[in-house]
Amino acid sequence: MMDSLVFQRLRRLRATPASRSLVRETRLHRGDFILPLFVVPGARVRKEVPSMPGVFNLSVDQAVEEARQIRDAGIPAVILFGIPEEKNATATGAFVEHGIVQRAASALKQATPDLVVIADTCLCEYTNHGHCGILEGETVANDPTLEVLGRTAVSQARAGADWIAPSGMMDGMVAAIRAALDDAGFKHTPILSYAAKYASGFYGPFRDAAQSTPAFGDRRTHQMDPANRREALREIEEDLAEGADAVMVKPALAYLDIIREARDRFDAPLAAYQVSGEYSMIKAAGRNGWIDERRVALETLVSIKRAGADMILTYFALEACGWEEVG
């Protein structure tokens, strides 16, 4: 009776770990990772972010220590977020010569010159209202913000930042930053644009870590509606036309379809950001014994790569380098 059935035995190649290794289509590699760092004023500060176990607010000296470990682990890049001493309405802390990210970038380039230091370029950590730009009334004013983003990018590049990563979702931000960098002599500084960044609840823990929760309102007038797919492709197309060297989709797990479509549609390097909430959910459930933390973290990371991301920004980066599944 069985002899008359015709079917494929796909289980044959799954029989042993060695066989599964041979037919594995996607592999995680430490060379794909970018680790976010939160830099704060002071010295010897290493304060765990309550909603992000294993993630710390670091003073510059501690960030340097961390950078050495990151380099030794074989991770090629970090992305810097700064929490300034003082915030104001015009975000001057974002572009002053000795701002927090500027100090961190220059210290890291001295201590670990081979590490790619990426500067996140947004104003929300530097404004006293927590919005990503200059306000006119209660509106984030697009064009006045562009000028400040250009200045910020130039001061970050001057301090040693290797790549500039604008994350504010202002229209024209890539063109404005490209022009400002070129004018200041940074023609060779690449821009990794947060091109398709959604207005997401998954950023909650980050806003704790960066103290950047908006004082009123939300970011829905500039970040994207989670319901939209075609609009993400327009955003990416536009940023590439403005001169972005690489583009990002953010968050990652709830937007794997966007990552896949961006990969199929565009040939530019593609990054995906596994954001704070994605990390913290896995950590929290793991700590409760509800899931196997490491296994779930690996599963999400491999899904992001399988969807088509070349680079993954993840808070798991350093930990994951200790896992045998990561090359």
Where on the chain is the footprint of ligand PBG (CB under 6 A)?
120, 122, 124, 167, 203, 206-207, 219, 275-276
CB 167, min distance to ligand PBG, A: 4
Distances 148 to 44, 177, 194, 246, 313 between C-alpha atoms, Å: 31, 9, 17, 22, 25
| 166, containing H or E segment | strand 163-166
**Closest CB to ligand PBG: residue number:** 206
**CB nearer ligand PBG, residue 53 or residue 187:** 53
Residue 47 a catalytic site member: no
**CB nearer ligand PBG, residue 152 or residue 189:** 152
Q: Which of 87, 109, 187, 197 is catalytic?
A: 197
CB 8, min distance to ligand PBG, A: 42
Cis-peptide into 144, omega within 30 deg = no
Q: In the 8-state DSSP scheme, what is residue 137? A: T
Q: Which of 47, 109, 187, 250 is catalytic?
A: 250
**CB nearer ligand PBG, residue 6 or residue 250:** 250
DSSP string, 85-126: S--BTT-GGGTSTT-HHHHHHHHHHHH-TTSEEEEEE-STTT
CB 168, min distance to ligand PBG, A: 7
CB 106, min distance to ligand PBG, A: 21
**CB nearer ligand PBG, residue 50 or residue 327:** 50
Residue 250 a catalytic site member: yes
Cα–Cα distance measured from residue 41 to residue 34, given in angstroms and rounded to the nearest whole number: 23
**CB nearer ligand PBG, residue 22 or residue 215:** 215
| 75, containing H or E segment | none
CB 177, min distance to ligand PBG, A: 14
Q: What is the 3-state secondary structure (H, E, C) of 186-247?
A: CCCCCEEEEEEEECCHHHHHHHHHHCCCCCCCCCCCCCECCCCCHHHHHHHHHHHHCCCCEE
Catalytic residues, by residue number, are 197, 250
